[in-house]
Structure 1
Amino acid sequence: MLPVEEQLSILVHLSMADKFLAEEESKLIHKIGEGNGLSTEDVELIMDNPKPIPNLKDLPPDEKFDYLFNVIQLMKVDGKIYQSEIEFCERLAIALGYKPGVVGDLSAYIYSDPAIMTKRSYLRSIADKHLVPRK
């Protein structure tokens, strides 16, 4: 599993795809970081200096799905979806080993409000259909 710092860095890169960090995006990044044991200061440091995106293809399927879910939720959290954010999510999906269409298919079921949840097993079944077979 990638360290939480690298996971948050990916979310920071996505949130900045539109060149603006919305308050809702910042709150979600903080919530995820603090939920994983980081202090507010640690999260701020990552937000100010995100790490480069690592190689994600070798992650286990569960972790790939978690990344994909988190970036799609972050893309939607501020209520505005920019083409640059969609393109970032699609590039990340490809880096994870998915076909880019997974972003559109999952977006219909992932909501900006973390309290509204579609069953994860259903979302995972949608995502798994988009996994590119490993050679």
Structure 2
Amino acid sequence: MALLAQMKLLINLARIDGEVAGKERSYIRNIGLANQLDAGDIEKLFDQRHDLIVPDDLTDDQKFEYIFSLVQLMKIDERMYKEEIMFCSKIAARLGYDEQVMFDLMLHVRAAAMGDDEMTALKKLTKKYL
């Protein structure tokens, strides 16, 4: 359930600028495939509308994965829109983060793959906002 909700949030974010760019679609698809979702089921998600549902029972690690993946997706097409930032801030608040977390995330999250040390440091940095 948590993964499916995350996928739907990512798709909603990707749609904010009017279309899901190829890089965005690939990023979302790769998250699903890495978590053993069927490729056909993932593609169907792109054709559906999704409510903004954030599960209540997420662990701190899952909350971090949600917000990290949203910010990374926002940066992946090298354009950030005000609406995307507002969407991510709204989800961060629903996850229980202080809104200030977005400043640190936008400074430190990169569109490219990040190393384990970077991820650990970022997780530690964002935890203070929970």
Q: Shared fold (TM-score greater than 0.5)?
A: yes
Unmatched 5+ stretches in structure 2: none
Percent identity, please.
32
> Is the 8 Å Cα contact of residues 5 and 46 (structure 1) preserved in structure 2?
no
Shift of 1:54: 2.1
Aligned match of 1:35: 34
CA distance in 2 between counterparts of 1:85 and 1:121 reads 25
Shift of 1:57: 4.2
User: Mapping of 1:16-27 within 5 angstroms?
Assistant: 16-27=15-26
Judging by fraction of residues, say which structure has more helix: 2
Note if 1:9 corresponds to 2:5. Answer: no
- The alignment of Structure 1 onto Structure 2 pairs a total of residues equal to 129
2:118 partner amino acid: K
Shift of 1:50: 4.5
User: Mapping of 1:1-135 within 5 angstroms?
Assistant: 2-114=1-113, 116-117=114-115, 119-131=118-130
Question: If the length of structure 2 is used for normalisation, what is the TM-score?
Answer: 0.90
In angstroms, what is the RMSD of aligned CA positions?
Answer: 1.6
> Is the 8 Å Cα contact of residues 56 and 95 (structure 1) preserved in structure 2?
no
> Is the 8 Å Cα contact of residues 98 and 130 (structure 1) preserved in structure 2?
yes
Matched position secondary structure for 2:94: helix
CA distance in 1 between counterparts of 2:69 and 2:98 reads 17
CA distance in 1 between counterparts of 2:32 and 2:71 reads 17
CA distance in 1 between counterparts of 2:54 and 2:108 reads 27
CA distance in 2 between counterparts of 1:99 and 1:3 reads 21
CA distance in 2 between counterparts of 1:128 and 1:92 reads 16
1:83 partner amino acid: K
Shift of 1:39: 2.5
> Is the 8 Å Cα contact of residues 5 and 55 (structure 2) preserved in structure 1?
no
> Is the 8 Å Cα contact of residues 10 and 50 (structure 1) preserved in structure 2?
no
Shift of 1:11: 0.4
Q: Deviations over 1:8-66 (max 9, x none)?
A: 10100111122221111001011111111122211111111143232434311111011
1:24 partner amino acid: K
